[in-house]
Amino acid sequence: MKLQAVLWDVDGTIAETERDGHRIAFNLAFEAHGLPWQWSVERYGELLLVTGGRERLLHDMATRSDAPSMTGERDALARSLHVQKNELYAQIIQAQGIPFRPGVQNLMEECLARNVRMAITTTTSRSNVGALMRAHLGESWKSWFPVMVCGEDVAQKKPNPEVYVRALQLLKLNPLDTLALEDSPGGVAAACAAQIPVVVTRSVYFDNATVEGAIAIGPGLHQRTGWRPLAPEAPCTNHIGLDDLLTWRDRMEHTSQFE
């Protein structure tokens, strides 16, 4: 059965945007608001369990004695910080750039060449997707992704499957005609709950995380070593391509990772 669409998670899967993009932008927004708060690399890793930047801010504020005590004030501060964070994130992307993970653009180009549609399935804000994609694919980037479901488009963010369910509706496809690429346990849970086969490329923040339900887990699309199950034999390429995704999808070996 042909693969009709590849569904791309963004943060962590397409690029390592969390540590060097969103985290830095949050810290700059704290500074700009005159707040003495700073999220270390380690603390941000803990906070990533909360998806959505505004939700992450509210979660962190609940642990701070110096955050506003009134709910309304807290909400207003989280909103204001989040708006500014996204502006700063776009500036960081423009000024210094965050590269696509190796092998990502290769697979995107292969999808285009072989008429496999692509969708963006992310819980980040639409503006953040635009900033990243424009920087790498140019002004016509939207034509690469006929379907895009972002944080604003859903009531419930990952690990809720809503992002994926919505993408399937817009693509008018059954889950088994598609395949998702993810990096986080929450993202995998969301795809699995929508019955979509999911392949995991490990990102810096979820390098050792326990991931349940993926059909394959590996270090990245740029290499054929280190995958479970093993990447199929392919003497002519170093990358993971559509044929590999198809082989894994057709075998549907559910891989669990416990170490």
Task: Catalog residues that contact ligand XBP under the rule CB under 6 A.
Answer: 9-12, 18, 22, 51-53, 86, 122-125, 128, 151, 158, 184, 187
Least distance in angstroms from the C-beta of 66 to ligand XBP: 22
Nearer CB in complex with ligand XBP: 151/185 = 151
Q: Is 20 a catalytic site residue? A: no
What crossing angle do the helices spanning 104-113 and 242-251 adopt, rounded to 10°?
90
CB proximity list for 77: less than 8 A, separation 6 or greater: 33, 57, 61, 67, 68
Binding test (CB under 5 A) with Mg ion, winner from 7, 183, 220, 221 = 183
Q: Which residue is nearest to Mg ion (CB)?
A: 12
Q: Tell me how many residues contact Mg ion (CB under 5 A).
A: 6
Measure the CA–CA gap between 17 and 39, rounded to whole angstroms.
15
Contact window for Mg ion (CB under 5 A) among 6-14, 67-75, 145-153, 193-201: 6-14
Q: Judged by CB under 5 A, does residue 11 bind Mg ion? A: yes
Least distance in angstroms from the C-beta of 230 to ligand XBP: 26
Cis? peptide before 161, omega within 30° of 0: no
Residue with tokens 């070996």: 253
Q: Which residue is nearest to ligand XBP (CB)?
A: 53
Measure the CA–CA gap between 219 and 39, rounded to whole angstroms.
26
- The listed partner (Mg ion, ligand XBP, none) that binds 128, CB under 5 to 8 Å by sort, is ligand XBP
Measure the CA–CA gap between 186 and 222, rounded to whole angstroms.
23
Measure the CA–CA gap between 110 and 173, rounded to whole angstroms.
20
What crossing angle do the helices spanning 71-95 and 23-32 adopt, rounded to 10°?
120
Nearer CB in complex with ligand XBP: 52/103 = 52
Least distance in angstroms from the C-beta of 10 to Mg ion: 7
* Residue numbers annotated as active site: 9, 11
The residues that touch Mg ion, with contacts defined as CB under 5 A, are 9, 11-12, 183-184, 187
